[in-house]
Structure 1
Amino acid sequence: MTKSRTARLQFTLELMISLVIFTLLLGAGVIVLLFALWKSGRVRHWTAGLGRRRFLNHLSRKNRGKILHYDTSNAQAAQESLLVEILKKHQNTEYGQKHNFKDLIDVPSFQKLHPLTRYSDYKDYIQRTKEGQENILLQGRPHALITTTAGTLTNPSMIPISTKSTKELFLQGTAVYLEVIQSNFPEALEKVAKFTFSPNDNHFEAGITIIPHPSVCFFSLLEKIYSSPIPLHTSMSHYEILYIQLLFALKDMDLRILEANYSWFLRHVFSILEEHWESLITDIQQGRLNPEFKLPLNIRKQIENGLIPDAVRAEELRAQVKEGFCGIAKRVWPNLQVVITLESGGSDLDRQILKDTICQGVPFYSPLYYTAEGLCGVNLWPAEDVPHYTLCPRSAFFEFIPVDTSDQDQPQTLCIQDVSEGKAYELVITNRDGLYRYRLGDVVQVTGFHNRSPILELLYRKSQTLNVRGERISESSFHESLLHTVNMWPGASLLNYCCAESRIMGQFSGGSDPHYKVFVALKGVRDLSEEQRYKLDQTLQEHFPIYKSFRFKGSIGPVRVHLTSPKSFLKLTELVANLSGVPLDCVQVTRTLKYQELAECMWKQVFS
């Protein structure tokens, strides 16, 4: 071998070794860079984004909106075929055999032979289902039992739901409203922060899952569109969980959607921001979690792995806080497009306060009208201030009781094709899971039609009606009267309220004549004169002639108005959650108190 050839071989070998070393160093650098990006959360957000986009692309290919359009164009036929399907499917259950489902072949026979029902008609059947017995109300056993506070406070109602219904609730409801969001708020679903406790509160009895809210049925699917999950631990308080969720939301200035089950709960989240903003911003600046939180070290480490010091973001947040909290949501998250909360009876005040203050300039969207008993409608118009819902003809069989006959035990009902625009009705539902001609207690108004299906506005829930002598003042009507009265109190604005009939107050009833006790939290005033308080009674007399006649006869005493603090309403809701076993974020706002424990909770917090 010549020297020149040896030199060439040596050069080639050295070059190959250099390339190998360079490749190894480059690979190590990439690994270090990826690790640093992972530590900062960017890779996690990127991979989560890929999963989110695949999920949304899959939904868009299904085009559930077109299916809803077809169903609503053939609403009567869809309703009739669904009812026949339900009756045939469950004719061999114990309930179906007792009520001769084999003889119920169409809508007229069903309405003639099966009475209208309430929860008490199913209580024994559901208890046996809960214990693990099969083929009672529905074929086999349910996928889950949904807890609802419509029952007694310490023994809440439970509603069976099957796997089929869970799927239909997602496809006919959730999938449709996700398409609505994609159409109306482009790219909004790329960054969603949801404030919640409920997904971790499920438990089991006789092998059946007990869940606190219908949305939990498909939370695992929707996790794909939410921001990265935050590790939770049973030792965490409600405050700590919401603080941590809020901390991560504040870190990300690119959020597009804020979501919570109910508006009152979102108000509670923002109250934490108003009270603890200094601590939250310090945690973002220093890249750590408040050391006062006594969390297990492994949980704290997992949480802090997602936090890196961010002095720039901290200064941005401080600057926005200095400008005040009115409109701060849009200033903290400049790309925020919509707030999602569910409409519920009595939620008007909470939603309006958020729209006027913290979330000024951001539209609110209540996507679905659904209850533990089933999906009723989907909101196709996210830009409208008042939520309206197109009735879903294939989710359940619906009947309507004209509101002027809804006090009867077995009134005549109308079907979907018989209702009239502008009229109010009590809604009746026959679902896929064992409830037949079930009176929901919701009063709705038909505001129009989407193709051949009614468009509904939720007016009020009958259970929230004030009634001490047969005067029957609905929750929504009382709210209007209270707002009218507050406007006559100079400098006052209403922050929160609830009311109770004196008969449930026990030793605190304050007089022999039945009357209303009204608990209010006000901004702008510290006390009210007796004359000012009496203005609410005068307003009720002006608005409700029947109430006025009872007041004239002396059979109803004057309204008693009591002042309390805004925090007392959170304590009230926490008490409802503790007594019923329903997670705090799944408790609907309580305006009319029906239980002595709740009324006494408010009474003990009155300061004037």
Structure 2
Amino acid sequence: MLVPLLLLLLLLLLPLALLRQPRSQDASLCWLARLQHRVAWGALGWAAAWQQRRLEQSTRHMGQSQQQALRWCLQGAQRPHCPLRGSTDTSTFRNQLPLTKISQAQEEESGEQLTPPTSNQYHGEAFLQATLLGLAALKKAYPEVVSPGSTARVTPTSPWPSPLPWPGHALGQASPPGARDPGALLLEALRCPGLRGLEAGTAAELMDVFSGLEADGEELAEAVATGNPGAPLPRRAAELREALEQGPRGLALRLWPKLQVVVTLDSGGQTEAVAALGALWCQGLAFFSPAYAASGGVVGLNLWPEQPRGLYLLPPGAPFIELLPVNEGAQEEAASTLLLAEAQKDMEYELVLTDHTRLTRCQLGDVVQVVGAYNQCPVVRFVCRLGQALSVRGEDIGEDVFSEALGRAVGQWPGAKLLDHVCVESSILDSSEGSAPHYEVFVELRGLRNLSEENRDKLDHCLQEASPHYKSLRFRGSVGPARVHLVGHGAFRALRAALAASPSSPFPPEMPRVLRHRHLAQFLQRRVVS
């Protein structure tokens, strides 16, 4: 069904695309652009309605849908001598295939990355479904955002998991079609004061865009004024300079007074970036992510743009998803997984995905909490990643616990706004120097240039309040106090660039909160300013 759908959409739009004259400035052709936009959204609405019907059907019959997903995975398995060929029984499947855990320790020891499940086929369909349903939900919640010229993308990567089968300008994108240069994308967006929607690949990438805008604001304003490229817009350039002079807080709404929503793709480690954007540059704006992506694949659909915190539906189709109760995570092979229909509200689970090509049941490390249901399908919020926990003496402080403690500590630092952070266990940097093992914490802040010893100590106090085990170890002296380092402006942007340069880096890139490699920790250590 997917191929006929794409062909139909292309056939609907091809005649209109042919009628467009490239680079034409004739005002008489405006009606053609509006017609093309209307037809494009009509086709998209039809496709989204078809996907919605499929979703309704699958979520009302969860058992049958997951059985079909398992059958699809088993029939396509490429592993030789597969013991499950011809069998689609879930009990046999669980008994014959043990759980595989993505272990950071294994990665460091072997020097190779244990790759998570991947399958271009099911990823392609899941990506298209997330894009179509996300666009339809966005149009329903913010109808003005989808009018011609009302949305611009400011990063080379897109928040929509699947590229649409028609030109971007047909849907009203203000960004130059096919543009890959971040500077050109931002410059085109700055030339359009009437934007109602802003898109970026991830929240962290958007934060880097705004940081760069502040640093290069005068140069960008001059380009707008002189018309490089495009027509000269001196009045708009004056507006940009005036907006930038007032500082970062609320900058987006000063640049684009009609802006309503920011669209980014959610993934691991993006919570801090969303919080920083909401507190500074994008203050007063709504945020929407069409999907949650983990390990390079879509695992959750967002049908509720109006919700302040991301809620995601775990779809029952391929890939085959199981849920592992987190309190059983340490039991590894003895742990018992659940199907989606067996999920219980308020419980927390680790996601387990089955690989289509190698047929492995892979623990992703992403922990979700069930907050509701959509028909028989669980609706979840993502809590943390198990691989981002800190443990120098077995205390096991999770990503969510540490982030909350750090947030409370930063709240006690006068004028400070947290932009980003990572942690390093002292053994990675050999920084114990005969003292007890401890955490090395690197933070990037706004509003505070130096950290006093009193401020640094507040983090350790907040960690003790958050974790009784950590407090006990601190009292006995088995663990030393956390050491906090302030890094210079742009340090984390450079770190993300280094991570993205890795050939094995997925999209969207998952921002680590615990660095396990010494060269990455030293990368930040060289940028410490206080």
- TM value normalised by structure 2: 0.86
1:275 correspondence with 2:215 = yes
1:109 matched residue in structure 2: 92
* Offset, 1:468: 1.3
Give the one of 53, 65, 70 matched to 2:57. Answer: 70
> Structure 2: which amino acid aligns with 1:110?
F
* Offset, 1:555: 2.1
1:595 correspondence with 2:522 = no
Against the structure 1 CA distance between its residues 339 and 161, is the aligned structure 2 distance closer, same or farther, given a 3 Å change threshold?
Answer: same
Give the one of 77, 82, 85 matched to 2:69. Answer: 82
Give the one of 176, 193, 198 matched to 1:253. Answer: 193
Against the structure 1 CA distance between its residues 533 and 222, is the aligned structure 2 distance closer, same or farther, given a 3 Å change threshold?
Answer: farther
* Offset, 1:153: 11
Give the one of 17, 31, 43 matched to 1:58. Answer: 43
For residues 331 and 514 of structure 1, the distance between their equivalents in structure 2, rounded to whole angstroms, comes to 47
Against the structure 1 CA distance between its residues 586 and 68, is the aligned structure 2 distance closer, same or farther, given a 3 Å change threshold?
Answer: closer
Against the structure 1 CA distance between its residues 258 and 524, is the aligned structure 2 distance closer, same or farther, given a 3 Å change threshold?
Answer: closer
SS of equivalent to 1:406: helix
SS of equivalent to 2:440: strand
2:401 matched residue in structure 1: 477
* Bigger shift: residues 556-565 or 51-60: 51-60
* Alpha-carbon contact 2:117-2:356 (below 8 Å) kept: no
SS of equivalent to 1:427: strand
For residues 491 and 337 of structure 1, the distance between their equivalents in structure 2, rounded to whole angstroms, comes to 27
* Alpha-carbon contact 1:423-1:445 (below 8 Å) kept: yes
* Alpha-carbon contact 2:265-2:508 (below 8 Å) kept: no
Q: Superposition pairs for residues 487-502 of structure 1, below 5 Å?
A: 487-502=411-426
For residues 561 and 41 of structure 1, the distance between their equivalents in structure 2, rounded to whole angstroms, comes to 60
* Offset, 1:532: 3.1
2:501 matched residue in structure 1: 578
* Alpha-carbon contact 1:328-1:358 (below 8 Å) kept: yes
For residues 471 and 60 of structure 1, the distance between their equivalents in structure 2, rounded to whole angstroms, comes to 51
1:348 correspondence with 2:276 = no
1:446 matched residue in structure 2: 370
> Structure 2: which amino acid aligns with 1:600?
Q
Against the structure 1 CA distance between its residues 590 and 52, is the aligned structure 2 distance closer, same or farther, given a 3 Å change threshold?
Answer: farther
Against the structure 1 CA distance between its residues 598 and 509, is the aligned structure 2 distance closer, same or farther, given a 3 Å change threshold?
Answer: farther
Q: 1:235-259: per-residue Cα shift (whole Å, max 9, x none)?
A: xxxxxx3222111001112323211
Against the structure 1 CA distance between its residues 83 and 572, is the aligned structure 2 distance closer, same or farther, given a 3 Å change threshold?
Answer: same
> Structure 1: which amino acid aligns with 2:66?
Q
1:521 correspondence with 2:444 = yes
SS of equivalent to 1:117: strand
* Offset, 1:364: 0.1
> Structure 1: which amino acid aligns with 2:523?
C
1:503 correspondence with 2:490 = no
Against the structure 1 CA distance between its residues 154 and 222, is the aligned structure 2 distance closer, same or farther, given a 3 Å change threshold?
Answer: farther
* Bigger shift: residues 380-389 or 518-527: 518-527
For residues 335 and 541 of structure 1, the distance between their equivalents in structure 2, rounded to whole angstroms, comes to 45
2:387 matched residue in structure 1: 463
2:342 matched residue in structure 1: 418
* Alpha-carbon contact 2:367-2:382 (below 8 Å) kept: yes
Against the structure 1 CA distance between its residues 108 and 159, is the aligned structure 2 distance closer, same or farther, given a 3 Å change threshold?
Answer: closer
> Structure 2: which amino acid aligns with 1:218?
P
2:16 matched residue in structure 1: none
Aligned residue-pair number? 502
Against the structure 1 CA distance between its residues 394 and 581, is the aligned structure 2 distance closer, same or farther, given a 3 Å change threshold?
Answer: closer
1:607 matched residue in structure 2: 529
2:292 matched residue in structure 1: 369
For residues 376 and 545 of structure 1, the distance between their equivalents in structure 2, rounded to whole angstroms, comes to 33
1:541 matched residue in structure 2: 464
SS of equivalent to 1:514: coil
SS of equivalent to 1:386: coil
1:553 correspondence with 2:498 = no
* Alpha-carbon contact 1:154-1:579 (below 8 Å) kept: no
Against the structure 1 CA distance between its residues 512 and 324, is the aligned structure 2 distance closer, same or farther, given a 3 Å change threshold?
Answer: closer
Against the structure 1 CA distance between its residues 40 and 184, is the aligned structure 2 distance closer, same or farther, given a 3 Å change threshold?
Answer: same
SS of equivalent to 1:401: strand
* Bigger shift: residues 597-606 or 77-86: 77-86
* Offset, 1:280: 1.3
Against the structure 1 CA distance between its residues 110 and 45, is the aligned structure 2 distance closer, same or farther, given a 3 Å change threshold?
Answer: farther
* Offset, 1:563: 1.9
For residues 395 and 43 of structure 1, the distance between their equivalents in structure 2, rounded to whole angstroms, comes to 48
* Offset, 1:268: 0.8
Give the one of 135, 144, 155 matched to 1:178. Answer: 135
For residues 388 and 220 of structure 1, the distance between their equivalents in structure 2, rounded to whole angstroms, comes to 27
* Offset, 1:511: 4.0
SS of equivalent to 1:183: helix
> Structure 2: which amino acid aligns with 1:488?
Q
SS of equivalent to 1:360: coil
1:194 correspondence with 2:177 = no
> Structure 1: which amino acid aligns with 2:163?
F
* Offset, 1:359: 1.4
Against the structure 1 CA distance between its residues 270 and 397, is the aligned structure 2 distance closer, same or farther, given a 3 Å change threshold?
Answer: same
* Alpha-carbon contact 2:131-2:160 (below 8 Å) kept: no
Q: Superposition pairs for residues 318-397 of structure 1, below 5 Å?
A: 318-372=241-295, 374-397=297-320
SS of equivalent to 2:384: strand
> Structure 2: which amino acid aligns with 1:256?
R
2:323 matched residue in structure 1: 400
For residues 322 and 239 of structure 2, the distance between their equivalents in structure 1, rounded to whole angstroms, comes to 54
> Structure 2: which amino acid aligns with 1:599?
A
Against the structure 1 CA distance between its residues 48 and 88, is the aligned structure 2 distance closer, same or farther, given a 3 Å change threshold?
Answer: same
5+ long unaligned stretches in structure 1: 1-33, 124-149, 200-212, 234-240, 289-303
Against the structure 1 CA distance between its residues 40 and 499, is the aligned structure 2 distance closer, same or farther, given a 3 Å change threshold?
Answer: farther
* Alpha-carbon contact 2:197-2:261 (below 8 Å) kept: yes
* Offset, 1:317: 2.9
Against the structure 1 CA distance between its residues 407 and 510, is the aligned structure 2 distance closer, same or farther, given a 3 Å change threshold?
Answer: same
Against the structure 1 CA distance between its residues 504 and 52, is the aligned structure 2 distance closer, same or farther, given a 3 Å change threshold?
Answer: farther
2:10 matched residue in structure 1: none
* Offset, 1:172: 2.5
2:232 matched residue in structure 1: 309
SS of equivalent to 2:264: strand
* Alpha-carbon contact 1:255-1:333 (below 8 Å) kept: yes
* Alpha-carbon contact 1:257-1:337 (below 8 Å) kept: yes
* Offset, 1:227: 3.2
Q: 1:553-592: per-residue Cα shift (whole Å, max 9, x none)?
A: 3222221111222321122222223345649x84332321
- TM value normalised by structure 1: 0.75
For residues 344 and 183 of structure 2, the distance between their equivalents in structure 1, rounded to whole angstroms, comes to 47
